[in-house]
Amino acid sequence: MPAFNWKNAPKENYRWLVYGVPGVGKTTLSKYLKGKTYLLSLDNSFRRIQFWQGKKDIWVIDPQKPIEDLNAFAESFDPSQYDNLVIDNLSNLQKLFFVEKARETKTGLDNKMSDYGEWTTYVTRFIAYAFKWNINILVTAWEAQNKITDPKGQEFMQYGPDIRPNPRDYLLGNCDVVARMIQNSQSGGRGLFMQGSIDTYAKNRLDDRKSCKVEDLFKVDESNV
C-alpha cells in the first residue's frame, strides 16, 4: 500500500466548542474567524453584536418550531460557499426543543421520558451531519456545573457545557478544542481556558496552549497539526 500523501490531502478543518455564562462574549468570538462565516443563530444574541449588524449570512431559528426550522437549514445550507459555520448556543436549542415537546402534552408544561431520548438522538445526528461538512465549525453553549464521578467513585462538580450528558459527551469527543470562556471581574478582559482540570472540562489537541486571549483562539499553527 502506498504511503499517504499529505500534500494531496483535503484542507484541514477544525471544530471548536466554547462555553461560558450568558453575556461573556461567545458570539463575538466569531469575528476572529478567518474567511467567510455563516451564523446559525439559536438564540438571537447576534442582534446585540455590532460585527453582525447588516450581514445577510445568518439563519435565525424559529423558536416556535425549532426542529422543523433546523431541518430546513440543514437541507438548504451550502457549506462550499463558506469557510466557517458558527452554531451559536446549542444550550438554547435544547431548551426550545423541550418547550416544543411540552406543548404536545395535556398541560403544555410537562415533558415525557421519551422526549429526552428523542433529543439525544436528534442533536447527535445533527452534529454528526454538520461535522461532515468541509468547513470550520464553532459551537457555543451556556455554562453549567455537572456532577462527575471519578474511577474511584468520588463525586465532584465540574464546569462544562449546558447540554444533556449523552449528546454533550458526543460533542466533546468530536471537537478539537473545548474551551471555557471567562471574564476578569476587575479588568473586564476575556480569555479562554483550554486545559482540563478537576473543576473544568477543557481540551486542546491542536497545540500545547493551556489558555489564550479571545482574539488568539483560532490562530492554529498548521505546521503542528
The mean pLDDT of 149-166, rounded to a whole number, is 90
Using a pLDDT cut of 70, give the percent of the chain over it.
91
Rg of the Cα trace of the chain?
Answer: 18
Q: What average pLDDT score do residues 32-36 get?
A: 96
Question: pTM here?
Answer: 0.89
Question: Quick one: pLDDT band at residue 188, thresholds 50, 70, 90?
Answer: confident
Task: Give me the residue spans of the domains in the chain.
Answer: 6-224
Residue 217 C-alpha cell reads as 483562539
The architecture (CATH level 2) of 6-224 comes to: 3-Layer(aba) Sandwich (3.40)
30 SS3 class: helix
Task: Give the confidence band of 4 by pLDDT, cuts at 50, 70, 90.
Answer: very low
Confidence of residue 7 (pLDDT cuts 50, 70, 90): very low
- Give the pLDDT band of residue 221 (cuts 50, 70, 90): low
DSSP string, 42-64: SS-GGGG-GGGTT---EEE--TT
Q: pLDDT class for 11, splitting at 50, 70, 90?
A: low
* Between 218 and 187, residue with greater pLDDT: 218
The better pLDDT of the pair 151, 51 is held by: 51
CA-closest candidate to residue 33, choices 48, 2, 55: 55
| Mean pLDDT within 108-127 | 88
Residue 171 has pLDDT above 90, yes or no: yes
Burial of 123 (0-12, 13-18, 19+ CB in 10 A): buried
Q: Is 108 left (phi over 0), alpha (psi -120 to 50) or beta?
A: left
Average pLDDT over residues 34-45: 96
Tell me the mean pLDDT in the region 47-61. Answer: 93
Instruction: Work out the mean pLDDT of the chain and round it to a whole number.
Output: 90
